[in-house]
């Protein structure tokens, strides 16, 4: 490395670090601006803030719930249910998607039934699951797993079906074994679509956990929502919604972070 190149690298390094911090921070600009605008509207009397409390009241509610340990207890209960349902849903969706995508007869046998089941609303499963599994944790986790299953199934099946025939023929020309074909060709080809399906499945898992916790739960953020509705506490309702948003975004970011090393080979369009 020449001295001039080294000097140029040192000169642009602070700008690169600033850009690395500025890009994630940009995503906070819109919610922060909306929160400030709503706080100003309530404080200036443009709204009474009764039905939608201002951020200061919501923050105070967060602080009160955290001080008593309620917020942590309910958030951990919800996070545990989503994590369990996500694991089971991903395992089943990946297996079913890979089989139906790879095997034509299996696809024709299973896919029509699975597509029909996918059209059933989440709330319609609840009475049946309560009859089958009771009102305890099993029914809640299975309901979440059902929500996660279908996006993962569709993503894996579509990715396997859309693998470029030419790269498979290249693998056969090099006489790769079945395991080597899967590891060196099929897995890299389906990985981008698989990661997207995981993120979509996780998003539905967070939606389904609300339906699960509406029924017979004594802990969880969904219980906080119902408790706030029944006691007429809009600040608690909004605080629970914000907690859902924070946890959902954090887990989505975690999946993207873990998947990033597996997608470095992609030669894709880089957004500014």
Backbone angles phi, psi at 190, to 5 degrees: -95, -10
Q: pLDDT per residue over 86-104, tens digit each? A: 999 999 999 999 889 878 8
Q: Which of 106, 104, 207, 66 is nearest to 147 (CA)?
A: 207
How many domains would you assign to the chain? 2
CA distance 161 to 165: 10
Residue 172 predicted with pLDDT over 90? no
CA distance 259 to 253: 10
Q: Which domain holds residue 200?
A: 53-263
Is 271 within the bounds of a domain? Answer: no
Band (pLDDT 50/70/90 cuts) for residue 14 is low
Q: Which two tokens stand for residue 257?
A: 């972070």
% the chain with pLDDT above 70: 87
**What's the pLDDT score for residue 9?**
47
Gyration radius of the chain over CA positions: 24
User: Which one of 11, 27, 48 terminates a domain?
Assistant: 48
Q: For position 248, which CATH number holds?
A: 1.10.3720.10
Query: What's the average model confidence in pLDDT over 143-155?
Result: 92
Angle between helices 137-161 and 70-102 (to 10 degrees): 40
Residue 265 predicted with pLDDT over 70? no
pTM check: above 0.75: yes
Cα–Cα distances in angstroms (integers) from residue 94 to residues 37, 100, 131, 162, 188, in the given order: 44, 10, 28, 16, 15
**What's the pLDDT score for residue 12?**
45
% the chain with pLDDT above 90: 29
Band (pLDDT 50/70/90 cuts) for residue 15 is low
**What's the pLDDT score for residue 160?**
84
Q: Does residue 12 share a domain with residue 112?
A: no
Q: pLDDT per residue over 36-63, tens digit each? A: 998 898 888 888 878 888 889 999 998 9
For residues 152 and 197, the answer to whether their CB atoms sit within 8 Å is: yes
Q: Which of 241, 269, 254, 144 is nearest to 199 (CA)?
A: 254
Query: What's the average model confidence in pLDDT over 73-98?
Result: 93
First to last CA, the chain: 27
Q: Which residues contact 266 (CB under 8 A, 6 or more apart)?
A: 192
Q: Does residue 111 share a domain with residue 35?
A: no
Q: Does residue 9 share a domain with residue 63?
A: no
Residue 176 predicted with pLDDT over 90? no
Q: Does residue 65 share a domain with residue 26?
A: no
Q: Does residue 30 share a domain with residue 132?
A: no
Q: Which two tokens stand for residue 162?
A: 């859309």
Q: Does residue 7 share a domain with residue 60?
A: no
For residues 240 and 224, the answer to whether their CB atoms sit within 8 Å is: yes
């Amino acid at each position: 490395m020449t001295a001039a190149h080294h000097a140029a690298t040192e000169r642009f390094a602070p700008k690169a670090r600033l850009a690395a911090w500025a890009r994630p921070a940009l995503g906070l600009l819109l919610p922060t601006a909306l929160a400030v605008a709503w706080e100003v509207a309530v404080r200036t009397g443009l709204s009474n803030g009764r039905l939608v409390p201002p951020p200061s009241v919501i923050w105070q509610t967060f602080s009160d719930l955290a001080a008593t340990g309620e917020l942590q207890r309910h958030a951990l209960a919800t996070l545990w249910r989503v994590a369990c349902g996500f694991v089971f849903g991903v395992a089943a969706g990946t297996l079913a998607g890979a089989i139906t995508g790879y095997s034509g007869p299996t696809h024709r046998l299973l896919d029509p039934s699975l597509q029909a089941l996918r059209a059933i609303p989440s709330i319609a499963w609840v009475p049946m699951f309560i009859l089958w599994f009771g009102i305890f944790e099993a029914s809640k986790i299975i309901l979440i797993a059902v929500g996660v299953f279908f996006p993962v199934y569709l993503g894996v099946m579509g990715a396997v079906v859309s693998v470029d025939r030419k790269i498979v023929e290249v693998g056969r020309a090099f006489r790769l074994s079945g395991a080597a074909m899967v590891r060196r060709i099929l897995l890299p080809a389906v990985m981008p679509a698989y990661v997207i399906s995981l993120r979509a499945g996780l998003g539905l898992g967070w939606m389904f956990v609300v339906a699960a916790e509406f029924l017979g739960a004594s802990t969880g953020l969904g219980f906080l929502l119902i408790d706030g509705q029944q006691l007429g506490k809009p600040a608690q309702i909004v605080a629970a919604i914000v907690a859902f948003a924070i946890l959902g975004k954090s887990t989505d970011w975690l999946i993207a972070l873990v998947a990033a090393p597996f997608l470095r080979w992609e030669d894709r369009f880089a957004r500014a």
